[in-house]
Chain A
Amino acid sequence: MKNSITTRLIVLLTLALAVIMGGGMLLDYRLSRQELLTRLNEEALVEIGVAVSDMENWLNGIEATTELLGRILEQQEYSHEGLQQMLRDVVVNNDEIFGAAIAVNSKFTEDARGFAPYYYVDNGTVSYADLAGAGADYQKQPWYSTPIAAGKALWTEPYFDTGGGEVNMTTFAVPVYRIDDKGNRAAYAVVTADVALTALQRVAGQLHLGESSYSLLFSKEGLMMNTRSQSRVMKHYSEISYRGVDLDRWHQMFSQALRGEPSTYDFPCPESEGHCTIRLGRLKTTGWPIGLVYNQQEVLSPLHQYQVKTFILGAVTLLLMAITVYLLISRLTRPLQQLSIATEHMARGEMDVALPQARGKDEVSRLVRSFNSMNKDLKAYIGDLETATANRSRLEGELTAARDIQMSMLPGSGEALWQQNGIDLWAKVRPAKTVGGDLYTYFQSDTHLFVAVGDVSDKGVPAALFMARAISLIQQLAGTATPPDKAMAELNNALERDNHSCMFVTLFLGVLNISSGQMRFASAGHTAPSLLRASEVVTVAQETGPALGLAEDQVYPINVLQLLKGDRLAVYTDGIDEAFNDKKEMYGVDRFNRELQACGELPVKDAGLLLFNSVDMHTGDLPQSDDITLLLLQYPSTTKQIENQSFQLGSGLTGRVQAWLEATLEQWKVAPESIMEFDLVAEEIVTNVQKYAGLEAGELLGLTVTVTAGSLALEARDQGKPFNPFEDGHRSELGADIDSAEIGGLGVHLITQLTDRQSYRRENGYNILRVEKGITGSGTEPPA
């Protein structure tokens, strides 16, 4: 399934969609994120601004109330009670003011201790205290001395108020001056308003950004008035170790804030992951540095939520799309899958497999319909083929039977060897098709041998039927008693009768007088036979009549051939000489004669089979084009003499061979020159065998010498390694340097020059070297 088109489509489409969608979402996320960040930043700034301005207003209110009280005191004289009443009203009416005091300069009071009423909030109720009555001189308190010394209203450093509210506080002190009658300006009193640090912290607490953020508030000297933990309040910032921010940084930021320059510093959050930020600025009203510490992560949490949301949305969309693609593609390609499975079944020959239903007009449906019709056609075609094959094998069976019957009409059923009275006769027919139109027959009666070889025009079944008729007629009408010319004329008339299809036969009819060797024969347009006599082959001259079966009352000339002892007659059909090879070259009569001569010493059967083989070698891979028939007739050779001898290889071999050869040939009365030359040839052959056959001393070399009328032959047989002296490269070049001439190499020239024919063959593990030479003057002349 990995390679199925469905899987590939689903995977590819899903991937493509994922890439497109992912890209879109990424772009959207980028843009949205930027927008969100900007918005968050703006929101934070607005929030901080609002908180800071709230605080400024709150402090302004305190300052304004206190200054108003001071202004009033500057203008008018009040009784002690009146002052006390006014002061009490201020504390009661202003929640933000923890306590208020009017400390009059003791120079202007009757009492030497001075006058300093103080109202403050104690557990929800306004309490009164007389600061002049307390042990310490209030005019030495910093909240009194500092503003007078400075000559202006100011906020004191925070301090712990003893004797009054007993809380941490800071005081806004306004000096009040009066001008006496002489025009001298003198400090009359100091009006103060106390603000508890807890109240300040409450207001400053509105400044926050995120859950774990907290605000910072410092006095001008650097005392912490508000921070995360109450335990650090009233301590100097330099006493506090703050993780992530070193002291130098604090100094730098603090002094910047005092100058009114806002500063920001990022550092790793000490208590959680991510980065924290300190922003430090200055309150305009009081000049106090104010700051905010917040976790960026918390500020950006809306952004993170957005990221998670986007991711989940993307994943869900992608999953839905993948499912949709899978369902769609599966549905569309289901017929293809079914078709593929069906095709595999069909390939295994299961033609009845069900094909998917084709609905609609799309390509797949058309493909399915085409497949359906192809399947039907194939089924029909295979059915036809089976019928045709059955018919054909039946026909072939009949033809094979016909061939057996046809062959049974011929002696020996197509190949025959007959040996009587010293005569060897061998014949063979080989049709080009199962049956054919060639024929041969022979029979002996008393002193005569009847021989016929024929060739019906055309080949195959028509020729075979006509051949059957021809051979029956030959057996009826011809014979040793009737002269061949007369028999031929009768056969012609018989075959011509009712021969509407104009088939014809070429025929050789011969009658041999066995004792005299005289052969009388007639030919009806048949190829002239060849005669092997004394190692020479000639085509026999003949007079011939027309082919049989074409026209009646024809005359066929009689030919007479006198066979000599040792003669071999070859009668054949044109399937041999007209055999073509793939280069359109005919086998030809000349080649046939040469081959007939070459195997003249072999028995007729071996020679005949070699001739068939030679024709096959010529035609090569081409199918046999015509029927082939060959008949060989060997007239006995009473004068043929053979002598065999085996020799052990080793020293003196040449002498032993020559002694035997000379004795044999002299006994056969071969002429002395021929004996001498054969001696030389024998020596050269023996030398070659001894040198190149690779045999050990003591192994055997067989020699056969044969003499027939006019021919002398020597055959050497050894069991050495294959070596053909006529081809295997040891032959020396004549006239060349003697050093390059190998032993025996010169001798090959002598062998080829002194004999007429040389042949080499390898047979059953033997090297067989044969040479032949025509001779005269031997005592083996054939009888006249």
Chain B
Amino acid sequence: MDLTTTVAIDEENSVARVALAGALNTDTAPAFELRLQDVVAAGHELTVLDMKDLDYISSAGLRVIFKAAKQTKSSGRKLAAANRKPHIDKVFEILKALPDMAVFANDQELDDYLDTMQRKAKGE
């Protein structure tokens, strides 16, 4: 199974949205790592990994996400995972992958969070 990655940048809010579709496994992880590195290096305040269409993740894929989370945290920015399917969630649980990441169960939570950030930015 292949992996399709779509990146959308919201310059106004400094948010990068990376949508994953398919399988993030040993075969697909190296390419995804390069792609994610580019996004993280761009320096957006928030990088959201949208896993709505991600069907499969293995330890090789999680390793890439761990590294990115560590990198953003050390530079004071955030990496978030959103819309995880239950069996993806289970893999995250087993590997205790969450401490460095924000987690959004669905788009609604993500939108609320973005609104809050926007208000803060406008000084309300």
Contacts and interface: CB of A to CB of B under 8 A. Distances in A.
Interface string A12-56: 000000000000000000000000000000000000000000000
A746 B1 contact: no
B63 A743 contact: yes
A609 to B, nearest CB: 37
Specify which of A652, A655, A686, A746 lies most central, judged by the most chain B CB atoms within 10 Å of its CB: A746
Contacts of B58: 654, 680, 683-684, 687, 747, 750
Contact of A683 (B25, B63, B87, B94): B25
B66 A738 contact: yes
Interface stretch (A253-261, A470-478, A628-636, A671-679): A671-679
A687 B59 contact: yes
Contacts of B66: 738, 741
A746 B95 contact: yes
B60 A743 contact: yes
B87 A676 contact: yes
Contact of B59 (A651, A652, A673, A744): A744
Interface in A714-736: 734-735
Contact of A734 (B60, B67, B95): B95
B26 A750 contact: no
A747 B70 CA distance: 19
B90 to A, nearest CB: 8
Interface of A, helix, strand, loop or mixed by DSSP: helix
Interface in A632-652: 651-652
Given A658-B1, A680-B58, A684-B59, A750 B94 contact: yes
A738 B67 CA distance: 6
Interface string B53-65: 0001011101100
- Point out which of B58, B62, B96, B99 has the most chain A C-beta atoms below 10 A from its C-beta: B58
A687 B27 contact: no
B56 A680 contact: yes
A79 interface: no
Contacts of A123: none
Contacts of B96: 734-735
B87 A654 contact: no
Nearest to B93: A753
B42 to A, nearest CB: 21
B87 A749 contact: no
Q: Give the interface centre of A653, A683, A743 by most chain B CB atoms within 10 Å.
A: A683
B103 interface: no
Interface string B37-81: 000000000000000000010111011001100100000000000
A673 B94 contact: no
Contact of A655 (B1, B63, B99): B1
A746 B56 contact: no
Contacts of B70: 737-739
Contacts of B25: 654-655, 658, 683
Contact of A677 (B60, B63, B67, B87): B87
Contact of A741 (B56, B63, B94): B63
Contacts of B1: 655, 658
B36 interface: no
B99 A753 contact: no
Contact of B27 (A654, A739, A746, A750): A654
A747 B59 contact: yes
A735 B69 CA distance: 13
Contact of B95 (A652, A677, A743, A750): A750
Contacts of A741: 63, 66
A737 B27 CA distance: 23
A749 B26 contact: no
Interface in B9-24: none
Nearest to B85: A676
Contacts of A680: 56, 58, 91
A750 B63 contact: no
Contacts of B63: 738, 741, 743, 746
Interface of B: 1, 25-27, 56, 58-60, 62-63, 66-67, 70, 87, 91, 94-96, 99
Given A680-B56, A746-B63, 19 more contacts: A653-B27, A654-B25, A655-B27, A658-B25, A676-B56, A676-B87, A677-B87, A686-B26, A738-B63, A738-B67, A741-B63, A746-B59, A746-B95, A747-B59, A749-B95, A750-B58, A750-B91, A750-B94, A750-B95
21 contacts: A651-B27, A653-B26, A653-B27, A654-B58, A658-B1, A676-B87, A680-B58, A680-B91, A683-B25, A683-B58, A687-B59, A687-B60, A734-B95, A734-B96, A735-B96, A735-B99, A743-B63, A746-B59, A746-B95, A749-B59, A750-B58
